[in-house]
Structure 1
């Protein structure tokens, strides 16, 4: 599962010179941040990089010295910081509300079935799946009163990648707010947080974001399927862009996802999900969860979760796209 690339766009007009752009590479992906400043010499790049540093130190599974790496090695003496605690609590909340379909401990199963960065296990059978399920499940991970992470099984591997990028964006937004920045757009790996107005002088002052079609080929010119306007909102898109498969017999488009409840891959014709929320960590987590959930269950969740709006793209057996939008998302669309 990957996060889609979004196109930041706006209406044709001259941009305000007081908007500054910072770009770079962090958390395994690229970022582009546009924010309004009081003069040409003002730069908050060091402050932005400081946010990346504290998140990596706390939650990067690629950094051996991070808190989460120590916890995954079985160190139960680590007292986690405020950043880890906030992400942990939101992950637990989404895990509960999605009945376990959102699960930060599913990484071992993803790798075992050959959908992750590590080598797959050959000849996966019921016995192997059952053994992996023994240490899979966020219900087997707890946080003590003194902020230590306790795992029922030492082999349980925690990975907050499904919401850490969104949380990092939120932290940068908080930093901007504290420094009095009133208008900004923060994009990290295709996930976005906006505040105030874009540097446009015409009628459309909100930030405009375009969503790619999930059926475009890698070398094709970018195909946009929707454009929405955002103000004081976050959006995250999760999908299997260019990862779908076509059944040779039926012609059906589908993707393989791992069901954390059964431990087995399952077919899904959901190709992408875009979620809008007040904060990016929430949008990020639910975009991942809705990709894993059966479509009927996803629609039910959306009806019972007013804090999010969503746009779900699936494909029928002929490869034609089927779109489902909540009412709130529909109101954000522009021509």
Structure 2
């Protein structure tokens, strides 16, 4: 199995960790297999119901990781996306690449460019990607990178080739490829008749099975870390009950900066519209959606967007629910939850 990274970098900030609290087993005949390992530059824990202990779908799980790596890993020189980034416009991309491309384009348009897979060159330049970083970025260097930043400069032809207006455009699907990988594993489970499962990769989750549909499993419950904690602490801020849903969380867990003049808390994230790291008092965003790819993409976008624009987006996007934690100038936490997310929280 390829052990290639899908490094999140500054665009997705730091993936917040989630704790699986329960999947209360109410039937002694139910058997759950647990697979753990390392893939896409992070760890994974996958729990799924099997008929007996001799059944293992780990080879199929690893095959999914390999498939996504071969198509979309910027850390694999032989991947399709690496070939495209080198300027190959003859390559016909596979169905996996096509699906991620179309979702990325949808989120790019819906967020008015705050979610942008062409930010890869800026990620590299600021030192958060696989390429060599630039020293002491100046305005003219940022401006030159912005010339080949913008997903509206990338197209997919009718014969499924990726066409770039500028050969230097660097595509990076890392902000939603991990969520998509989780969805693919879920599809594989569905095809194999697995009715109850929880797939967790790097803190992003997809669940299936709940107490309304089966007597074997209660709703899956996960916890979200508080962003305001020391590195040696583990403070939980919320418990979320998931029913056939996906959740992705982006945040600056244990890594934020306090402005000495204003006392405000900031994380550094790249604004794809300006090309610069942008100060933000948004500390954590958790998104629930039907697919992990959608949750992954919007968790990234909402971390980048100004808080007022994030709230407006949520009001106009009924397919997602979110929980946003920010810090005011006094360092106190301020929470914003959509109605749908509030209904998922446990006391």
TM-score range relative to shorter protein = over 0.9
What is the alpha-carbon distance in structure 2 between the residues aligned to residue 240 and residue 147 of structure 1?
Answer: 37
Match of 2:226 among 192, 213, 216: 213
TM-score of the superposed pair, with normalisation by structure 2: 0.91
The aligned residue for residue 181 of structure 1 is 194
CA distance in 1, matches of 2:251, 2:76: 26
Q: Decide whether aligned partners of structure 1 residues 69 and 11 sit closer, same or farther in structure 2, where only a CA change above 3 A counts.
A: closer
| TM-score of the aligned structures, taking structure 1 as reference length | 0.95
Q: Deviations over 1:201-243 (max 9, x none)?
A: 99981000100011112222x1100001001000000112122
Indicate yes or no: 2:91 matched with 1:78.
yes
Number of matched residues?
332
Aligned to 1:272, the other structure's residue is in SS state strand
Question: Among residues 258, 264, 272, which one is paired with 1:260 in the alignment?
Answer: 272
Classify 1:34/1:203 alpha carbon distance in 2 versus 1 (closer, same or farther; 3 Å): closer
Of residues 56, 59, 62 in structure 2, which corresponds to 1:43?
Answer: 56
The worse-fitting range, judged by mean Cα deviation, of 241-250 and 55-64 is 241-250
1:166–1:284 Cα contact (<8 Å) kept: yes
Decide which moves more: 111-120 or 178-187.
111-120
The whole-number CA distance in structure 2 between the counterparts of 1:300 and 1:14 is: 41
Contact 1:184 1:197 in 2 (8 A): no
CA distance in 1, matches of 2:197, 2:185: 10
Mapped to 1, the partners of 2:241 and 2:336 lie a distance apart of 18
RMSD value over aligned CA atoms?
A: 1.9
Cα drift, residue 60 of structure 1:
0.7
CA distance in 1, matches of 2:120, 2:197: 34
Residue in structure 1 matching 2:284, options 272, 297, 304 = 272
1:30 partnered with 2:28: no
* 5+ long unaligned stretches in structure 1: none
Aligned to 2:31: 18
The counterpart of 1:323, out of the listed 335, 339, 343, is 335
Matches within 5 A, 1:1-335: 1-10=13-22, 18-116=31-129, 118-197=131-210, 205-220=218-233, 222-335=234-347
